[in-house]
Structure 1
Amino acid sequence: MSHRRERVARDLRNRLAQIIEQRVEDPRLRGVTITGVKASADFSYLRVFFRTLGDREQATQAFNQAKPFIRRCLGDGSRLRRVPELDFRIDKSLDSAARIDEILKELETQRAASRSGAGRPGEDEEEPA
């Protein structure tokens, strides 16, 4: 991504966060954090990633209902030729990271269990009669 595109995407993310916090009054969007944006090359499309402390589906519905209002607010004073279409998505990256962490902990537990049994040969075997 070019430096300009990164800067504009960062500015759009900050403006969206400000609009949602200060101008959108839907209680389903309380506790929502905009975690990132992904813009098309011409900025006609913007995928917006978010996390929420509340119900994810409720927040998604609220974003879809508020989308026209949010776009209007985003367009106020915008230097872009066109206000981008918005696509709100739940940010699942932290979920993925938590799952990876869980798997790594399971592997470590299994390794520790196999190491504790590996140092004592014949422990599970019966003695010859």
Structure 2
Amino acid sequence: MANFARTDRVGQQIQREIAELVRLELNDPRVRLVTITGVEVAGDYSHAKIFFTRLDGKNEEAQQGLDRAAGFLRSQLARSIKLRIMPQLHFVYDASVERGSHLSQLI
């Protein structure tokens, strides 16, 4: 059970670091308005799903920009987070914010 708590902590650390790197290090205009909303790390630390949203709705553009920067982001993470295996980064659009906004409008 402690393994799950550790993967959660690693996911939170990856989320903080990725958000900072996207904000400060990436010059790609496709990722300027991206918000990192969550990270799920596999139990063996081989993969991490990074959930994002973009305020202006250009999600496909943001997906392409983040996928293109995944190698750079992974190498920067390896410098700041000491793990035996740095997970492969997989970016996934988080539609929960959009669904929540839609539900709020219905009420």
Alignment TM-score, normalising by the size of structure 1: 0.73
1:35 aligns with 2:37: yes
Cα deviation per residue 1:60-118 (whole Å; 9 max; x = unaligned)? 11011111111111111431111111110111001222333445x3xxxxxxxxxxxxx
Q: What residue in structure 2 maps to residue 69 of structure 1?
A: 72
**What is the percentage of aligned positions where both structures have the same residue?**
33
Q: Which blocks of at least 5 consecutive residues in structure 1 are unaligned?
A: 106-129
Cα distance in 2 between the residues matched to 1:80 and 1:38? 16
Q: CA RMSD in A?
A: 1.6
Q: Which runs of 4+ in 1 moved over 4 A?
A: none
Contact 2:51 2:94 in 1 (8 A): yes
Q: Which blocks of at least 5 consecutive residues in structure 2 are unaligned?
A: none
Alignment TM-score, normalising by the size of structure 2: 0.86
Contact 2:10 2:41 in 1 (8 A): no
Q: What residue in structure 2 maps to residue 83 of structure 1?
A: 86
Bigger radius of gyration, 1 or 2?
1
Choose between structure 1 and 2 for higher RCO, CA contacts under 8 A separated by at least 6 residues.
2
